[in-house]
Amino acid sequence: MKHFSIRNRIAFTYIAVTALLIAALFSLIYIVIFQTVYNHLDSDLDAEIQEVYSSIVVLDNAIVYANPNEWNEKEHGLIEVNPTFVQIVDTTGTVAKKTPNLREGALFFSHAISEKSYFDTLLAGAPIRQLQLPIRNPTGRTLAYLVIAIPLQESLIVLKNLRLTLIIGYPIVLIALFFISRFIAGRSIAPINTVIATAEKITKENLDERIVLPQNKDEIYTLAYTINNLLDRLRDVVIREKQFTADASHELRTPLSVIKGTLEVLIRKPREREQYVDKIRYVMNEVDQMSQLVDQLLEFARFESGMVRPSVVEFELNALIGDCVKRMEYASAEKNISLRMLTEEAFVVKADISMTKIIIENILSNAIKYSSNDQSVEVSIGKDSGGVTCTIADHGCGIPQDQLSKIFDRFYRVDESRTSQTAGKGIGLAIVKRLAEIQHLGISIKSTPAVGTTFTMTFV
């Protein structure tokens, strides 16, 4: 069935289960009717034998027929219509008395049957239902046997017709149900064909196409809704990748253009040695910035790939921040910015040491870049209901509220014209966000223009 369509698989599965249920139901119907027919026959035999038995009296080990007319009743003389056959057999097997409708024949008798018993047998080749009952004296001695029978032919015809009807009707019902279930399944999965048709139209250049949601909010609705959400995420990823490529190209094109222009100026005519040295230093500075940008891009791509897994260990956060502050002292000294630790209490956290160091150094670097000269950057560690928190606050230019949500985007800078004198390519905070996500650390930012910016990292 692996090559069947889903409609046919649903129909076949439904039919397989239904076939078992119908087979069980038909069997139950036949058994119930079979038992009903035989119970009715046995009831008739019971009623007749009670009537005949009541006409027999046992006196001194002899059988006396108190009501001889009972043996001459109409049903005992008929053979064609609803006859009842009665006979009495002594212990030797000899028929002592029988109804006229038996004529030359006799009912089946068995010495092995010592109690009241019902069974099927034949009379002149015709099926009959028979009852054999011993006749005993008051002491319990068996004197003879009373045997009564009624025709079974009509009942067997009824049962045979019922059996034939069920056997013929069984495959007919299953075939009809198969096509009905196949039709219903086809109608039910019709929205899936719409999903397939729409999905086939969607390409990288056509990610705005969406699947029309069905009216019924069932599993197919959930499927279509989930696929639409997936397409939304894919579209966002493609847009970000396109923007990333465009921004990276822009960031690399600018220093390359500067380097090319500078070299073109140098070769136009001979110059003094000092001019060559000055221009070469300028070119080397641009090359350094390009190298730094490429390193950041490679590092970000490595973190974005999902192949990097954090190595979570316990460590003292104060010591790690102290190392990061020492590494930033040279950059802060150039702007006469003091880096201050406001917490003396030691705090132990669980995280990846190297990733956490990158996060803190990037935030500190960002704080130093955007702080005014002769200001300070404060680092404090505390604890709240959410866990251990590390706060880094600067007193720089701040960030407008409408741009705070974009601050972690790649290549985003508050200075959209990219002519700011502040160094930086807009990759550092994107790396911070990604490393925080990998470690499941909380990261938040608050900022007030012309007052400063505060980053808060939470270790759960």
pLDDT at 79 over 60: no
Backbone angles phi and psi of 128, in degrees to 5: -135, 160
Please indicate whether residue 328 or residue 74 has the higher confidence score (pLDDT): 328
pLDDT at 109 over 70: yes
pLDDT at 419 over 50: no
**Average confidence (pLDDT) over 402-426:** 62
Asked if 131 and 116 count as a contact pair (C-beta separation under 8 A), the reply is: yes
Alpha-carbon span 327 to 450, nearest angstrom: 27
pLDDT at 437 over 60: yes
pLDDT at 118 over 90: yes
Please indicate whether residue 254 or residue 279 has the higher confidence score (pLDDT): 279
**Average confidence (pLDDT) over 194-202:** 79
Supply the CATH classification number for the domain 6-160.
3.30.450
pLDDT, mean over the chain = 82
Neighbouring residues of 83: CB distance < 8 A, sequence distance ≥ 6: 75, 76, 101, 150, 151
Please indicate whether residue 145 or residue 275 has the higher confidence score (pLDDT): 145
pLDDT at 294 over 50: yes
Q: What is the DSSP letter of 381?
A: E
Q: Which fold has domain 309-459?
A: Heat Shock Protein 90 (3.30.565)
Tokens of 138: 């008051």
Asked if 142 and 114 count as a contact pair (C-beta separation under 8 A), the reply is: yes
**Average confidence (pLDDT) over 14-38:** 92
Backbone angles phi and psi of 147, in degrees to 5: -120, 125
Q: What is the DSSP letter of 26?
A: H
**Average confidence (pLDDT) over 212-226:** 80
Domain range list for the chain: 6-160, 219-303, 309-459
Q: What is each CA distance from 324 to 341, 346, 379, in whole angstroms?
A: 11, 16, 11
The mean-pLDDT minimum among 16-20, 106-110, 115-119, 178-182 falls in 178-182
pLDDT at 331 over 90: no
pLDDT at 57 over 90: no
Predicted model pTM: 0.48
pLDDT, position 221:
81
* pLDDT band with cut points at 50, 70 and 90 for residue 418: very low
Q: Which residues pair with 123 in a beta bridge?
A: 126
Q: What is the DSSP letter of 31?
A: H
CATH class of 219-303: mainly alpha
- pLDDT above 90: percentage of residues in the chain: 20
Q: In 3-state terms, what secondary structure has residue 88?
A: strand
Decide the pairing of beta strands 338-341 and 376-384.
parallel
Most confident of 20-34, 98-112, 249-263, 323-337: 20-34
Cα dihedral sign, 295-301-307-308: positive
The DSSP line for 233-247 is HHHHHHHHHHHHHHH
